[in-house]
Amino acid sequence: MILEGGFSITSDTVPQITMQTESALRFFQNFAIKNLDQDARDLGLYAEVNLGRDLKGRFASFTTPKHLLTARANGCTWNPKGGVRLNISEFPTCPVEYDGEQCPDVFYGTCFERLFAPGSLTPLTESAEAQQVLGQMLERIYLGLGNSFYSLYNFANHPIIEQVNTTGTYAVDTVEWADYYGQQMSGECGGLITQLDALKEDDFYNQYYNLVIATGSEGIDLTTDKYVGDITELFEALVDAASPELKIAINRGVNVDGRMLKPVILVTTAEFNAYKKYIKDMAPNNELAYRYMIEMSDGTTRLSKNVMEWEGLPVITWEANTEFDAITGVKSHRAAIVTPGSWGVLSNVEDVSNRLFSGVGLVVQQSTQLNDKGKVFMSTTFRWGAAIADPKMAVMASRIIRNVPA
């Protein structure tokens, strides 16, 4: 039996629902990825990168030739200059998996109990009510996978996670921390913010990434963790430190799939609130002053209340830091200007790691074993990666305030 959306139901021996890899990928993209960083995605910040046959991701960009003109020569002199070049940068990807189980006792005493009694998974596909329950379950699973993927492509293998693990100063209980640490530090791939922080130590690119946000009256109030300095001076400092290539993009914008987009200013919550207060003080009665009109990829526009504008550049909250701080217990203060399309994120659903499920991206299976008491097991696997296409096309200032061990 095939359901809408690429589901396949079998019940000959073990009640089972499978989803083909292409359908699982669409499901993952629709319910996991598109719900995260919506404004950043609509502003073109991320480039979706395809997975190569060698399991690597690749950025490809054309260079614009420079200084092409010369004095006209006499006769038949031919003096070719310049030419378009194709720059290709590649990055590794990492396989991850999710193995989950759901005990049906959470549904006991509710109207869903009859749907989850041992051996009754098949009826989940045979009524509108049952399919709605199944859809909501799968949607929640993929939202959870999306949140996990979001953590990975931002902070995977960040050294602060290892430091916090050593000192024991994390802000969540030990069970959640163990799960988070295992997820973030088990692979070889690094998240985007992990890579940005690593550029602070680079002999060349450190000039664009080692700006430090001030404390005290000119920056962060260490008592309240609020930004009390002149936030526009921080933005100006970022522009001053930007590479010549980024300054051109700031002035002109860049062409992304036919849209002329300006670089995006990303700031953590304290800095975003400081700029919002600055705007309100400047225009207290103009609600449109803290709104930004986003041009969508289909040519339509969307007015966002979560995006502000400074000197023609959109200003948004760097939300990934908020979750990171809530888990690790640090206080992140960051501000960056990033060119649209210069951060690459790759995700690709793979076959479930079992030859019995070739071509299958998700399996939901209810056990018929007596001692499992109707448990539902779920499994999916995918490959991910993240990369910065050109470090010259961003600039960042930061200050990370760490907890001191008791």
Residues 227-282 have pLDDT tens digits of 999 999 999 999 999 999 999 999 999 988 788 899 999 999 999 999 999 998 88
User: In the prediction, which pLDDT does 316 show?
Assistant: 94
Q: How far is CA 13 from the centre of its chain?
A: 40
Q: How far is CA 194 from the centre of its chain?
A: 13
Q: How far is CA 347 from CA 216, 278, 358, in A?
A: 42, 38, 19
- Cα–Cα distance, 181 to 172 (Å, whole number): 11
**In sequence order, which residues have a C-beta less than 8 Å from that of residue 132 and are 6 or more positions away?**
none
Q: From 95, 275, 78, select the one nearest 189 (Cα to Cα).
A: 95
CA-only gyration radius of the chain, Å? 25
- The residue ranges of the chain whose pLDDT is under 50 are 1-4, 122-123, 355-356
Mapped onto helix, strand or coil, the DSSP state of residue 88 is strand
Could you write out the DSSP letters of every residue in 235-263?
Answer: HHHHHHHS-HHHHHHHHH-EEETTEEE--
User: In the prediction, which pLDDT does 355 show?
Assistant: 45
- Cα–Cα distance, 110 to 266 (Å, whole number): 45
pTM above 0.95, yes or no: no
Is there a contact between 238 and 211 (Cβ–Cβ < 8 Å)?
A: yes
Is there a contact between 88 and 365 (Cβ–Cβ < 8 Å)?
A: no
- Cα–Cα distance, 41 to 340 (Å, whole number): 9
Name the residue with tokens 């399996």. 363
Phi, psi of 339 (to 5 degrees): -75, 135
- Cα–Cα distance, 50 to 166 (Å, whole number): 36
Q: How many CA atoms lie within 13 A of 320 on its CB side?
A: 22
User: In the prediction, which pLDDT does 54 show?
Assistant: 74
Mapped onto helix, strand or coil, the DSSP state of residue 24 is helix
User: In the prediction, which pLDDT does 344 show?
Assistant: 87
Q: How far is CA 345 from CA 39, 96, 158, 312, 389, in A?
A: 16, 15, 17, 26, 10
- Cα–Cα distance, 215 to 242 (Å, whole number): 22
Q: How far is CA 334 from the centre of its chain?
A: 16
User: In the prediction, which pLDDT does 71 show?
Assistant: 78
